[in-house]
Amino acid sequence: MLTVYDKNLKPIGILENAFHVPVNRKANELWTASFSLPINDSKNELCSHFNYVEFVGASGRNYGLYRIMPKETRKTANIITYQCEHVMATLLDDVMDGYFQYTNLTTKEVLQAILDLQEVKHWVLGTVDFERYFHYSFENENGLLAPIFSIPKPFDEPYLFTFDTSVYPWKLNLIKASNDIKAEIRWGKDMLDFNEVADPTEIVNYIIPKGAGEGVNQLTIESVNGGKRYLKDDGSIDKWGVHKYIWIDSRFEDAESLKANAQSLLNQWKDPKISFECPSTDLSILPEYEQEKKVLYGVTRIIVDETEYEARIIGENIADILDKEYEVDYEINNKLDDIATTQTDVERKVQVNDAYSQGATNIMNFGYQDNCDSNIPAVIPFYIDDDVVNVNTCELTFRTKKFRAYSRATEGGGATVTSTESGGGTSATSSNGGGIAKSTESGGGSTTTSSANGTHRHKVFSLQGIYSGAIDDFGIGHYLAPRASDGTQVGAIFLGGAHGGDIYTQTADGTHSHTVAIPNHSHNFQIPNHTHTVQIPNHTHNIVLPNHTHEVKHEIIELDNTPSKVTIKVDGNVVPHTSTSGDRIDLIPFISKDSNGKIQRGRHEVEILPNSLARIEADLILRVFIRSKLGGVY
């Protein structure tokens, strides 16, 4: 019975006159079906493009929900044939516009992230039996179905997508396929024909996987496979000889995922391909044989005379679920995939890959010209962006030149400047000879001597020509010896001059005083040779400079000397090169790296430190492989 639903999944009719209803189901692929109606059947009006049809066989077995496709409807003279795809095809209605990367997420998280891109949420995620942490990236995918089917490709064990369309939103599951034998097909019982194909020509036991990129930048598995670019199976090689194959799938941008997928293919390809096109009668539609129901992708035992095979049913083609539901052609294979299928898949992907660049090798140049010295190095910063997949080379070329200046003086303003301080001290003046000097003159006067009592004597000098007597032995002058009123000589007065005269003595008694008259006079005195000593205290001097300018003389000046060696560092790591010049010095070993030995993305620095003043002229050249995922188109 075929039931029709509109685009809102509302049942709108049953196609009682439908006939020739084949169903083709293959594991992990999109199922297809078709049906025909008489051209004059009124139910043709229900079969609009994108309406849904539920296929249920004559036995009551449900074969799933399908969507009528617009381009697959054929009209003949009397019938209309409608081609249908399983409702998984609704995942072709959405796209992955741009670049999407999923790293360090579980299988379930990646599947959920892709299903979240649905504009109309037809599908939800059900059971997921796997928890893997592969790296996935997709770009400009037309539809979500191919990315979903590609998620378990790297798995090294059997898997199966299953669907539940009895609920809405429909449920998608990813389960582990059992390795237990689920059924058997026996010659003489339910096997109508048998055609064994064992093809050893497609054996591959030495596989060299390659992913995204080109040339030396193409992804390989060396970094995650002990430095080896290949995987091999020694048992198969011993039995069948070496059969090598270079497997390229540019979808892979992560080495771990590439290796896991290659290992899965090697497990399938290491032995000869055994396949069967096995027309059979499905007895399980009868109640008494229900326990012998074949399971899609289940392991099945095939018995032909005395020979037994074990393989999986990877596809079933039912000729007509309404009229001949028991006639089934099984496709049985001992491999999950084969080289031809893989190559076809790669070719399909190339059509998508043509829409964008896998990447390209670019040259990045960082130039530097400036002065430096033994304290201030020449610093060349460079940045490696996250878009850089690989750094192929990093080389330094440099020359050391004479230190260069561009002027001789600069302008300056006035200021008050304090000189350096000076301590005090003792300083002697220059010597000066002695001489005779005359004092300033002084007027004369009368002076009364101090009084004297009692008997005393006077020594009197007579002035020559006035008094008689001898000249004093000193010969320095004359003295006047006056008399008292009674005629008694009472004293002596020095009159000055050396005129000669007499000296005599008189004695006088009683209290008396003497008055001396001093005439105008001057004194002469002798000054000997001498020096003067001056004590200078601690002191400073302040100097005031007025505002002023200096003429600037513009010219390029180079020093005569150049350094004798340099020290080069990259991210703090010393490069064993001390010469003052160098060509294409390899800096890769000295750039900072992450825990996996890959050059860190972000900022880096090259330092060149000369041992004296110098001018450095340098070029830092990197060759990198870039796959741009950022920004717009401007």
The angle at the Cα of 472, spanning 470 to 476, to the nearest 5 degrees, equals 135
Residue 137 — pLDDT band, cuts 50, 70, 90?
confident
Bridge partners (DSSP) listed for residue 173? 162
Place of tokens 């058997």: 184
Same-domain check for residues 190 and 326: yes
Would strands 123-128 and 170-176 be described as parallel, antiparallel, or unpaired? parallel
- Cα–Cα distance, 383 to 606 (Å, whole number): 11
pLDDT for 514 beyond 70: no
Token pair for 537? 């205290």
- 566 inside domain: yes
- Cα–Cα distance, 262 to 248 (Å, whole number): 10
Q: Count helices and strands (H / E) in the chain.
A: 5, 44
pLDDT at residue 278, as a whole number: 75
Q: Show the domain range for 299.
A: 178-200+272-338
- 481 inside domain: no
pLDDT at residue 283, as a whole number: 77
Residue 346 — pLDDT band, cuts 50, 70, 90?
very low
CA distances from 374 to 28, 95, 155, 568 (A): 69, 60, 59, 12
Higher local confidence (pLDDT), 263 or 250? 263
pLDDT for 73 beyond 80: no
- Going by C-alpha positions, the residue among 67, 39, 70 that lies closest to residue 54 is 67
Same-domain check for residues 189 and 294: yes
pLDDT digits (tens, 9 = 90+) for 275-317: 777 777 787 788 877 777 888 888 877 777 777 777 788 888 8
- For the segment 487-501, the average pLDDT, to the nearest whole number, is 47
Token pair for 487? 């005629």
pLDDT for 438 beyond 70: no
When computed from its CA atoms, the radius of gyration of the chain, rounded to whole angstroms, is 62
- Cα–Cα distance, 350 to 358 (Å, whole number): 11
pLDDT at residue 421, as a whole number: 53
- For the segment 523-546, the average pLDDT, to the nearest whole number, is 76
Higher local confidence (pLDDT), 383 or 301? 383
- Cα–Cα distance, 574 to 567 (Å, whole number): 7
pLDDT at residue 512, as a whole number: 62
pLDDT digits (tens, 9 = 90+) for 224-259: 999 999 999 999 899 888 999 998 887 788 888 889
The three-class DSSP label of residue 568 is strand
Residue 396 — pLDDT band, cuts 50, 70, 90?
very high
pLDDT at residue 5, as a whole number: 95
Q: Are 622 and 393 in contact (CB under 8 A)?
A: yes
Listed range (62-71, 126-135, 163-172, 470-479) with the worst mean pLDDT: 470-479
CATH number at residue 169: 3.55.50.10
- For the segment 449-472, the average pLDDT, to the nearest whole number, is 49
Residue 135 — pLDDT band, cuts 50, 70, 90?
confident
pLDDT for 184 beyond 90: no
Higher local confidence (pLDDT), 190 or 109? 109
pLDDT at residue 484, as a whole number: 55
CATH number at residue 563: 2.60.120.380
Residue 417 — pLDDT band, cuts 50, 70, 90?
low
Same-domain check for residues 65 and 168: no
- 579 inside domain: yes
pLDDT at residue 424, as a whole number: 54
Residue 444 — pLDDT band, cuts 50, 70, 90?
low
Share of the chain above pLDDT 90, in %: 33
Query: pTM here?
Result: 0.51
pLDDT for 479 beyond 90: no
SS3 content of the chain, % helix, strand, coil (to 5): 15, 45, 45
Bridge partners (DSSP) listed for residue 232? 206
> Among 306, 338, 370, where does a domain finish?
338
Token pair for 491? 């004293």
The count of other CB atoms within 10 Å of the CB of residue 297 is 23
> Among 89, 110, 140, where does a domain finish?
89
Residue 178 — pLDDT band, cuts 50, 70, 90?
confident
Same-domain check for residues 196 and 301: yes
Would strands 273-281 and 299-304 be described as parallel, antiparallel, or unpaired? unpaired
Bridge partners (DSSP) listed for residue 174? 128, 161
- For the segment 394-406, the average pLDDT, to the nearest whole number, is 92
- Cα–Cα distance, 26 to 160 (Å, whole number): 10
In angstroms, the first-to-last Cα distance of the chain is: 57
Listed range (177-191, 422-436, 511-525) with the worst mean pLDDT: 422-436
What secondary structure letter does DSSP report for 604? E
- 385 inside domain: yes
pLDDT digits (tens, 9 = 90+) for 140-157: 889 999 999 989 887 878
- Cα–Cα distance, 95 to 146 (Å, whole number): 10
Number of domains, the chain: 5
pLDDT for 465 beyond 50: no
Higher local confidence (pLDDT), 512 or 481? 512
The three-class DSSP label of residue 486 is coil
Same-domain check for residues 34 and 80: yes
Q: Are 314 and 297 in contact (CB under 8 A)?
A: yes
Cβ partners under 8 Å of residue 611, min gap 6: 374, 563, 564, 565, 566, 567
If you average pLDDT over each of 92-101, 209-218, 535-544, which comes out highest? Answer: 92-101
Same-domain check for residues 78 and 226: no
- Going by C-alpha positions, the residue among 576, 580, 577 that lies closest to residue 400 is 580
Residue-by-residue DSSP string for 338-391:
-HHHHHHHHHHHHHHHTTS---EEEEEEEEEEEEE-SSS-EEEEEEE-TTEEEE
The angle at the Cα of 388, spanning 360 to 212, to the nearest 5 degrees, equals 55
Mean pLDDT of the chain: 78
pLDDT at residue 16, as a whole number: 94
The DSSP H or E segment spanning 260 is: helix 255-269
Residue 128 — pLDDT band, cuts 50, 70, 90?
very high
Question: For residues 332, 334, 336 and 337, what is the CA-based torsion angle, rounded to 10 degrees?
Answer: -90
The DSSP H or E segment spanning 239 is: helix 234-240
pLDDT for 472 beyond 70: no
- 460 inside domain: no
- For the segment 582-603, the average pLDDT, to the nearest whole number, is 92
- Going by C-alpha positions, the residue among 24, 21, 36 that lies closest to residue 328 is 24
Residue 336 — pLDDT band, cuts 50, 70, 90?
low
pLDDT for 604 beyond 60: yes
- Going by C-alpha positions, the residue among 149, 341, 156, 180 that lies closest to residue 267 is 156
Same-domain check for residues 212 and 73: no
Contacts 24+ apart (CB under 8 A), 222-225: 222/255, 223/255, 223/596, 224/255, 224/256, 224/259, 225/259
Q: Which alpha helices (DSSP H) does 104-232 contain, by range?
A: 107-115, 145-150
pLDDT at residue 476, as a whole number: 42
- 468 inside domain: no
Higher local confidence (pLDDT), 380 or 193? 380
pLDDT for 495 beyond 50: no
Same-domain check for residues 289 and 196: yes
Same-domain check for residues 192 and 293: yes
pLDDT at residue 498, as a whole number: 41
Residue 285, φ and ψ in degrees, nearest 5: -75, -15
- For the segment 76-98, the average pLDDT, to the nearest whole number, is 89
Q: Are 622 and 403 in contact (CB under 8 A)?
A: no
Token pair for 353? 């890959």
- Going by C-alpha positions, the residue among 166, 246, 237 that lies closest to residue 207 is 246
The angle at the Cα of 177, spanning 174 to 179, to the nearest 5 degrees, equals 165
Residue 464 — pLDDT band, cuts 50, 70, 90?
very low
pLDDT at residue 538, as a whole number: 83
Q: Are 427 and 536 in contact (CB under 8 A)?
A: yes
Same-domain check for residues 240 and 170: no
> Among 271, 296, 326, where does a domain finish?
271
Residues 58-91: b if buried by 16+ CB within 10 A, e if exposed = eeeeebbbbbbbeeebeeeeeebebbbbbbbbbb
- Cα–Cα distance, 493 to 480 (Å, whole number): 4
Share of the chain above pLDDT 70, in %: 72
- 295 inside domain: yes
Q: Are 141 and 101 in contact (CB under 8 A)?
A: no
- For the segment 340-368, the average pLDDT, to the nearest whole number, is 54
- Cα–Cα distance, 54 to 68 (Å, whole number): 11
- Cα–Cα distance, 317 to 311 (Å, whole number): 17
Higher local confidence (pLDDT), 424 or 546? 546
If you average pLDDT over each of 102-106, 391-395, 454-458, which comes out highest? Answer: 391-395
Sheet strands (E) in 103-243: 123-128, 136-141, 159-164, 170-176, 181-186, 196-199, 206-210, 231-232
Higher local confidence (pLDDT), 412 or 577? 577
Q: Are 480 and 513 in contact (CB under 8 A)?
A: no
Residue 199 — pLDDT band, cuts 50, 70, 90?
low
pLDDT at residue 414, as a whole number: 54
- 621 inside domain: yes
Same-domain check for residues 255 and 305: no
Same-domain check for residues 280 and 392: no
